[in-house]
Amino acid sequence: MSWRGYIAFGILSLLLAFLSVFLWMINPVTDLLLLLAAPPLRLFGYHPPVQGFSGLGSAMWVSFLWPLTLLPLNWLNFRLLRWNKWHYAGLIVAGNFMLTLLVLVILEGS
């Protein structure tokens, strides 16, 4: 991908992030990430805010942050590591899972 492609992809990622913040209630990616990250945290004694009114802040943060990982992970996968498409999908899932864990740990006390 050329630098123009990366700039266009970055702009689209930013637009998707802002759109995702306003449509967090119907965003299945945010919901899946929150529901996947909560059980491991519960095993370690955390009580992550995932559902209900206490989960609104974490849902909005995760819905804003997950599209912003698409461009750096694309660069990491295809330019630096030179992996194929399936590795990119796994890298997106793993990266967003760790990001969601971090958001839930930070927002756990609030």
User: Per residue in 41-54, pLDDT tens?
Assistant: 999 988 888 888 88
Model pLDDT for residues 44-92, shown as the tens digit of each residue? 988 888 888 888 888 889 999 988 898 888 888 888 888 888 999 999 9
Helix (H, G, I), strand (E, B) or coil at 76: helix
What's the rounded Cα separation, in Å, for the pair 95 and 54? 24
User: How much is the pTM?
Assistant: 0.85
For 33, counting Cβ atoms within 10 Å of its Cβ (0-12 exposed, 13-18 middle, 19+ buried), the class is: buried
